[in-house]
Amino acid sequence: MSNDEGPDASSVRPLVVPAADGRIDGTAADGRIDGTAADGRIDGTAADGRIDGTAADGRIDGSAADDPFGVYVHVPFCSVRCGYCDFNTYTADELGEGATRASFADTAIAEVHRMAEAVGPRPVETVFFGGGTPTQLPAEDLVRILGAVDDTLGLAPGAEVTTEANPDSVDATGLRILREGGFTRISFGVQSAVRHVLATLERTHDPERVPQAVRWAREAGFDQLSIDLIYGTPGESLQDWEHTLDQAVALEPDHVSAYALIVEDGTAFARKVRRGEVTMPDDDETAEKYLLADERLGAAGLGWYELSNWARDESAHCRHNLLYWRSDDWWGIGPGAHSHVAGRRWWNVKHPAAYAGRLAAGRSPELDAEVVDDATQRMEQVMLRSRLREGVPTSLVASRGSALADLERRGLVDVDLDRVVLTLEGRLLADAVVRDLT
């Protein structure tokens, strides 16, 4: 999956493994859903800030105010770019003229105001700050952006407010400011507990940093703590992965995401693979690591609720990601961020300078949009919802009847009343099974 500005076809991998796109399955961290057909695509930018499909006063019609609504904030800064990552993020050297970290909060808040004009007061159930590395910004800036969302749309009672963080981009004081400022959940990019694996991934933290960051987060009062892991890094043995899982469990997280490393075109890592400097594991090894993750996390009381996500119980599920997986509404603030409201999707200009320039000129940062037709919507719902433990309603599944019975006979799905749910075997072959269901 690339991180360009428009929807692209998902890379369908032959065998294996839970859509290992490294982020939210089927959805990029900027809220973009992959694998969507580009039918209904509307070219051109609403340069006057008016959103196609909205009423003339700029308000979006057609979405019920009581449907769940989330806000994603994309913070496009990192201290160093990890070789495998193609997210829309910039180091200080890469950023260039026209955008600064210091001005980001005010720019993002300008988009928050545009959002409020378009959707009106609508309680926000979830806010997710992702990146990039949100915690590259001062905690006060993140709290200010969150405050603007609360002041305009209003946070729903008990709203989930998450930030992603790198273990070496936080300190005790910053975490306290975030918690006191309304953040309820933190997601640390741990990836591995093994030094040589972190080195291959070009991560900047060492394994010892992780328990310290987790301790600070707990002391600050974060009672929802998630960690991201990656498996299948070249050179990672089964024992290395086992060690990472053991260390992860020892941190007593409420939630774990574990994704297979994906080779993204155009990254430094992809060039190393092409030159033969590193070798990716085969599908069987990757599947074995998935099974090990499911077993170890399960034994520690973390149950799967989505192919690549495990949680202590239902209260620890990531409500924001569930909103993507269930095709609810969200607005993406920030450069390159994607939005989906009332069946319309749009995405912002990608570069932080172009994003800041548009908003400073009083224009919409939207680059392009599409309206999702019913057939595409159904297909996407099957793709995303069949990855959930709650399953996909049989009414949405195209292959009702014999094809479905065949998947059931082969032990790849369970059909339970009106839901189709992947079995463990089915989870290992998720891409292929989901293709059969769409």
Ligand X SMILES: C[S@@+](CC[C@H](N)C(=O)[O-])C[C@H]1O[C@@H](n2cnc3c(N)ncnc32)[C@H](O)[C@@H]1O
Considering only residues 130 through 169, tell me which ones interact with ligand SF4, judged by CB under 6 A.
131-133, 166
The angle subtended at Cα 277 by Cα 274 and Cα 282, nearest 5°, is 70
- Residue of 16, 17, 19, 29 that binds ligand X (CB under 6 A): 29
Per CB under 6 A, 228 contacts ligand X: yes
Binding partner of 226, given ligand X, ligand SF4, none, CB within 5-8 angstroms per partner class:
none
Q: Which stretch binds ligand X (CB under 6 A): 62-70, 128-136, 174-182, 301-309?
A: 128-136
Give the contacts of 229 (CB within 8 A, at least 6 positions apart): 190, 191, 192, 244, 245, 248, 256, 257, 258, 259, 293
- Closest to ligand X by CB, 26 vs 391, is 26
CB 341 within 8 A of CB 61: no
- Residue of 17, 19, 71, 85 that binds ligand X (CB under 6 A): 85
Binding mask 188-227 toward ligand SF4 (x if CB under 6 A, else -) reads -x--------------------------------------
- Residue of 19, 110, 178, 262 that binds ligand X (CB under 6 A): 262
Per CB under 6 A, 126 contacts ligand SF4: no
CB 166, min distance to ligand SF4, A: 5
> CA–CA separation, 4 vs 396, rounded Å?
30
> CA–CA separation, 264 vs 2, rounded Å?
7
Binding mask 67-86 toward ligand SF4 (x if CB under 6 A, else -) reads -----------x--xx--x-
- Closest to ligand X by CB, 229 vs 397, is 229
Binding mask 348-387 toward ligand X (x if CB under 6 A, else -) reads ----------------------------------------
Rg (C-alpha) for the chain, rounded Å, is 21
Nearest to 300 by CA among 332, 258, 271: 258
Looking at the DSSP bridge assignments, the partners of residue 310 are 256, 304
Element (H, E) at 295: helix 283-299
CB 275, min distance to ligand X, A: 18
The angle subtended at Cα 409 by Cα 407 and Cα 410, nearest 5°, is 65
> CA–CA separation, 349 vs 362, rounded Å?
14
CB 91, min distance to ligand SF4, A: 8
Long-range contact pairs involving 57-60 (C-beta distance under 8 Å, separation at least 24): 58/117, 58/118, 59/117, 59/118, 59/119, 59/120, 60/118, 60/119, 60/341, 60/342, 60/344
Per CB under 6 A, 35 contacts ligand X: no
- Residue of 107, 166, 327, 364 that binds ligand X (CB under 6 A): 166
> CA–CA separation, 421 vs 393, rounded Å?
9
Q: Which stretch binds ligand X (CB under 6 A): 51-59, 154-162, 255-263, 400-408?
A: 255-263
Give the contacts of 435 (CB within 8 A, at least 6 positions apart): 12
Position 374: which residue type? D
Residues making contact with ligand X (CB under 6 A): 22-23, 29, 84-85, 87, 130-131, 133, 164, 166, 189, 191, 228, 230, 259, 261-262, 264
Interface contacts to ligand SF4, rule CB under 6 A: 78, 81-82, 85, 87, 89, 131-133, 166, 189
